[in-house]
Structure 1
Amino acid sequence: MRVAVDFEECLKDSPRFRAALEDVEGDVAELEVKLDKLVKLCIAMIDTGKAFCAANKQFTNGIRDLAQYSSKDALMEVSLTKFSDSLQEMINYHTILFDQTQRSIKAQLQMFVKEDIRKFKDAKKQFEKVSEEKENALAKNAQVPRNKQHEIEEAANILTATRKCFRHIALDYVLQINVLQSKRRSEILKSGYDLFSELAPFMKDLGAQLDRLAMDAAREKREMEQKHSTIQQKGLASDDDAKLEYNVDPASGTVMEGYLFKRASNAFKTWNRRWFSIQNNQLVYQKKFKDPPTVVVEDLRLCTAKPCEETERRFCFEVVSPTKSCILQADSEKLRQAWIKAVQTSIATAYREKGEEAEAEWKPSPSVGSPDSSAEAREKALKGESALQRVQGIAGNAGCCDCGQADPRWASINLGVTLCIECSGIHRSLGVHFSKVRSLTLDSWEPELLKLMCELGNNVINRVYEAELEQSRVQKPQPGSDRQQKEEYIRAKYVERRFVAKCLVASAAPGGKAGPSGREGKRQSLPEAPQAPSTQQAVAAAPLPVRSTDSGFQQSASDSRERLASATSAHTLYEPEAERPPGCLESAAPPEAERTLPGLQLYHAAYEKSLPRMAEALAHGADVNWVYVEKNNNRSTPLIQAVRGGSLVTCEFLLQNGANVNFRDAQGRGPLHHATVLGHTGQVCLFLKRGANQHATDEDGKDPLSVAIEAANADIVTLLRLARMNEEMRESEGLYGQPGQASSGHTEMQYRKCIQEFISLQLEEA
């Protein structure tokens, strides 16, 4: 049976159904135009033919008059009479032809146009009307707040009645379409057959074909009416509403498809009804069938689906990906549960079937056998290999940091570890204040980030975050472990820091303030700290920690207190700033004090360019913006100490972990000021790149540009002026619109290129 529009698609009212209707309606409209034109031409031909026959008849009568006039000439009379009879016979054939044409073509085609096509048009009008009513009922039902029960019941009743009416009329419309499409061939060909029925044997064959066509049309009509009746009963059954609203087609790779309301991300938060589908491990939607699909989630392996009760609307659920969240609304609770289950099933299927395929493009790089070879790997990191090769060349980085999966292609840039695709998705869900995930193959990597990754690595970080894993008796996940087990482990490792060696954090540092006990706490830059207890009091009050790791800090409690008391006998751990060379670290505090006060450990490690010890301090809860108030009240932070230490990578590590690039010390100098004073060009570039305020002035009223001009540092002066010009061009573009756009874009490109070149040069020199 040849069906132009499918009955099943009619019940779902899918974009495929609407597209098929558009095709049929366009085809019928064009057919009507062609038939109208043919009927008009037929009428003109009949009228002209009748005039031709009338003229021929007059001509024949004239010949007969001439024959009667020639009655005395027998040959002349016989010849003219025979000639007139022959002409009369031809006129009679033409008259019959025109009569048959009028009956078969004109009348039959006009009847097809006026009756069959008119019925199609009437059905179309009814369908469009009820379709609009259904859309209004759906929108009203979706907009009803969940706390207004009487409005919910009223809207639900209206929607049920409208939906049943729509299905009834839509099925009738589809039946009318299919019958019309089946009937059109026999009707058009029959009109020609009746006209040329005497032309055998062609007409004989055509007659047989017409008989078959008529029988097929009658059979198809009966079958379609039967299917129409069956599907109509199915469509009018209220229990099947949920099943009718979505479709599953495993053969085409479609896990599920159907209509959902989508909340827009604009300021108005409008809701639009779109046709969604889960296919090829993606969630996509489209407004019309012929429109290109819009991708909501590119990889379902990195997302989750859960009910959403935060909105006033009912039946909402949320699809959360690493980069965005999408709020969707189904028409009923059954549909919502079906969609959530479909997304979760698709995630599980994608991991099972496509996980290895996603990793197969890249062969594992040779892993480094021992930590001793890390120096060689760091040298390679600055030479021409890809980001994947450089990072995987570090000891332990050839496998996922959390589950050991070979050939990881993702990395956490603030932790400095490599991850498999599944663990990277879990890291993204923790939030960027815990882990910032990048792809080693798809994202671009700045040289400072690559150097940072090469300074750390899985072995270094796991020695910190898994120091007491064995004592905890928690089983570390394997590559084949399920996602839930991995997620629980990763949260315990990085959020709860359950396996970090126990370190009791004091509430206040010598001459300063400690930050929150965890990085998840809100970081603050303290303007003025009250007088903190002395170092001796802080250490005496805080029990020394028990450490079982190999970090080199193993000392007895009594020996630790003696060393700390000795170091603090001069009333402060550090000499006043005026009594020591510029940029020099004041004095190394005993390791025990650093362990008791993670902020202080971070402060010292930042100057000493020791990223492993900095990572350890952060793991113990150090605030990345911890403030050390010296004897002369200088109020330095670890980032300012990193500037003094001269390491660009150390600054990058602190910035990636949330350091405030615009924090200013007691003299009003921020990191950009200090980098300018010390002539650290690469650090100046980095801070400008990260949004440092170049207009901030110190207590002497000098901004970084003034300091650089006084120091006659041409590179830094050039950078600061380029940055200022770029900023002015942006402001000009914002004030005056398009005229400055081209020049602004060119300046921006030059400025960024210049900054990146300086950073690369600084790294090569380091």
Structure 2
Amino acid sequence: MRAKLVKLCIAMIDTGKAFCTANKQFMNGIRDLAQYSCKDTLVETSLTKFSDTLQEMINYHNILFDQIQRSIKTQLQTFVKEDIRKFKDAKKQFEKVSEEKENALVKNAQVQRNKQHEVEEATNILTATRKCFRHIALDYVLQINVLQSKRRAEILKSMLSFMYAHLAFFHQGYDLFSELEPYMKDLGAQLDQLAVDAAKEKRDMELKHSTIQQKDYSSDDTKLEYNVDAANGIVMEGYLFKRASNAFKTWNRRWFSIQNNQLVYQKKFKDNPTVVVEDLRLCTVKHCEDIERRFCFEVVSPTKSCMLQADSEKLRQAWIKAVQTSIATAYREKGDESEKQEKKSSPSTGSLESGNETKEKLLKGESALQRVQCIPGNAACCDCGLADPRWASINLGITLCIECSGIHRSLGVHFSKVRSLTLDSWEPELLKLMCELGNDVINRIYEAKLEKVGVKKPQSGSQRQEKEAYIRAKYVERKFVEKQAASVPLPESGTKVLPPSQEEKRHSGPEKSLLAGERGAASQKVRSSDSGIQPSADDSREHLASTISANSLYEPEGDKQESPVFCDSKQPSPGLQLYQAAFEKNLPHMAEALAHGAEVNWVNVEENKATPLIQAVRGGSLVTCEFLLQNGANVNIRDMKGRGPLHHATVLGHTGQVCLFLKRGANQHATDEDGKDPLSIAVEAANADIVTLLRLARMNEEMRESEGLYGQPGDEIYQDIFRDFSQMASNNPEKLNRFQQSDSQKS
């Protein structure tokens, strides 16, 4: 019976575990239903609470079965396997000794009287056998008594433990459901109210149905809306008639949708979508009034066109507007895939914020300060050496203390454009420009012969007048730049200094003078990743101040009588040096060329009248273009073929440069000698990113003109998209590379 009880207990435990498994699957089904009903707060909350309660009950069941296994199965198996085995062994020995005793008695009775030695042997065997029998019999009786006593205790102990396990199980379940009972009562009351509301809604729907049945449906103009931020990626969907491209020009009704920056259609709901337009950014949409059918419109891409027909005029307008809006916002659709990617830092670039944080939080304040101050020499003011400078000259690429920044402002924006490292926001390409130069690089150029002329550089504690004279001599008159043959001598004492953009426009074609001497030591280039930034209003506050002569302090006597000295003809002119360095992406050499008097808009007549800015585009560097623009380069000067920097950037597929030129006022309506503007070039090249930028800029320009918002930056969507392109061009240029030659844009 005990072995049978153990088998029954094992079967009960196995069945109970199977019950728990099935119950857990049912509970998981309830949780899945709760997640599916996430839009219904009442259903989701109730099902979640019920599934949690059922999970607790499953845990209690598992605890119960574990206790049953310990209390009955384990204890009874121990009793059966150990105690009963000992009893069986004792019984076998007893039966064996009993048989031996019987044999000894029989043998003793059979011995003859006259065989004395056999009688003695039989008697001795019988005596020994009886002694052994008595000993084994006592052990056997002991095992019987122990087994009987232990049997009662073990069975009752196991059953008592079993019943206590059930008691704890039901107590836990009672407590659990006692806590849940108030919620169940409230839910019951809500269900009663829901039943009342459902009955009322049913009556209202029946009334609406009866009203709708009385309406006239001769013209069904269903309102169809589009949503560019739809969670499923489908901007708009609905039925349209599509004209076939075969000879018969048959019309078929298909289910169309705008999704994933594509126009697709399906013949049946379960069919795989057929792509009509692979990239909406490359297409245009227009009304069609020259065919027999009504409500038609055409979607035209560089390779094909698709004629479509809506069911009404309202639906046609809705579809046209949806396609146009999708074109404007297609960049966001594409950019969502890379938002979660974390930017990794390198020894030369450092680390910056990434993803949504970069979009939502512009890099400003201490972040920009730390990025720029980590460049060699930037931890102290470039002109007086004061530690922890908080201002910068963006066209020179140097850091300044507040007093020196005020002096720089007085020079005029054509010499120095001052911006705060903590108060202003910074565009990514501008911050990267700052990290390409630095105080050490600029001082090696503008203070190259400071020791030769015997001038002492002012300290942080020097008088403002001394600093002002030094800064004017350094940047305006360029007294400490290593002198080379210059076409325009530096001004004499008291002479008003013209901006380079005015002074050097007197010369056309190549420079008349040649550079002499050796260049400074190779400048260390420090590259840095950039973050999202906004233009500052500092430039509007800058002004020109009266010229202060510094010749008495910083011009050696010998310099006044020096005449220009021409050197080896192999040395390029400053303009040509700037032109070559722009292509080589060498900002220190470009700064050196400007310091030696190079005209930033110098024209190379031997190469189709290309400018340094056009050469920077060909070189593929975004930062080089920004440096030239900050130093007065004209973004709209074109070469002999009628192509300006925007044309060249479009032809080469340099998306970041296109974005930069559009922000800096490039004229995208200008056409080259073939009559092509940048937009037509981008469409022919199927460069969706550049098409998006050009169309957005054109739409924004038309909107501002129609609304009279001249001088305004444009709406928020336009600014956000251009900000995103700037971020990507500076931080992840490889994502904008559509052609092999665009790899150089990673500079």
- Establish whether TM, by shorter chain, passes 0.5: no
Normalised TM-score (structure 2): 0.41
Higher RCO (C-alpha under 8 Å, 6+ residues apart)? 2
> In terms of Rg, which structure is larger?
2
With normalisation by structure 1, the TM-score equals 0.40
